[in-house]
Amino acid sequence: MSTHAFPAPSRRQWLQWSVAGAVAAASPLLARQSQAATLPANFLNAGKPVTLVVGGPAGGATDGVARVVAQELSKSLAHEIVVENKAGASGTIGSKFVSQARNDGHTLLLGQIAPNVLAPLMQNPRPYDPVSGFTPIGQIGNTASVLVVPAGGPRTLKEAFAQWKRKGSLSYASTGQGSGAHLLGHLLANELGVQGLHVPYRGSPFALQDLVGGRVDCMLVTAGAIGSYIDAKKLQALAVASQSRSRFYPSLPTLRESGLQSVVNEGWFGLFTSAQTPAPIAHGWHAHLNAALQSPTVVKQLESLVVDIAPSASYSAYASFIRHETEHWGRVVGQMGDSLRSA
């Protein structure tokens, strides 16, 4: 477990930011000032730090998103926010911790589709309920899952499919039972008509290390986790598992373009807190989150992590979205049955 604190800004920092703001363009500055004046205040306990839990290891894609958001929220609220990594069990260790925390708004979760929705649908017993186990605050953005193989492996989807079909199997890495990579890898093997060998890891950095070494055939992984590996030519990206091509990887085809209709997952990042958190607290966090997502610095940093910012209209609208995701993936998992749960 690792932690990193973003302390409440000091008076000197506030002065530095004020000076920096003074030299910025006038209209954006006035808009931000007007927005700040209308943001909810006093919905947190003064002097009590906020913990933002990440269900993956430090250095992973989710961790990067969490630290960008935490730093901006800490500045906006003048409140200390501590990022705490609780990795393992497909991210459910961290999620379960938040679901059981006090509902005072001081324990947050950087959520994703895998630990928040997929894992509780695929694990038995369920670690928590995807809908009632949390209070959704708001969406941060969307990201694609990318099919990657070792640099010395197949260069195209056609080559990869032919290779895996010849040997009648493919091994795929994931971040654990019930993760997005687990579900997508299983769907990929199923659509190709080959035996899938699921190889779970504690987090994407560990899985990618073995993929680079050729110890597994492939992985469907969050786009933000692979940039350095692609740049260093340690991994080869073959396709994206989204409805349409990613603007970050426009040359990569979707798996649907290759005829694999079921291997689709629109990944997302969102902010959650514990169940039954009072509405004023949830509203306060949602307002500050959406304000943070308008910061040019945050936009730039999240785009560097291959995240398309997509804020939700309200915390209740985000709750409706989570219910819809749970219903959709519940049907998919139900159709796959025991073959998925035992993979």
Write down all domains in the chain, each with its CATH number in brackets: 50-142+267-336 (3.40.190.150), 145-258 (3.40.190.10)
- Look at residue 41 in the predicted model and tell me its pLDDT: 84
Evaluate whether 1 touches 85 at the Cβ level (below 8 Å): yes
Q: Distance between CA 199 and CA 47 in Å, rounded? A: 44
Main-chain dihedrals φ then ψ at residue 25, nearest 5 degrees: -60, 140
For residues 246-253, average pLDDT? 93
State mean pLDDT over 164-193: 93
Write down the pLDDT at residue 6: 61
pLDDT of residue 37: 47
The pLDDT tens digits for 67-122 are 999 999 999 999 999 999 999 888 999 999 999 999 999 999 999 999 999 999 98
Mean pLDDT confidence for 214-239: 95
pLDDT, one tens digit per residue, over 6-31 is: 665 443 443 343 333 433 333 343 34
pLDDT tens digits for range 316-338: 999 999 999 999 999 988 887 76
More confident residue, 54 or 35: 54
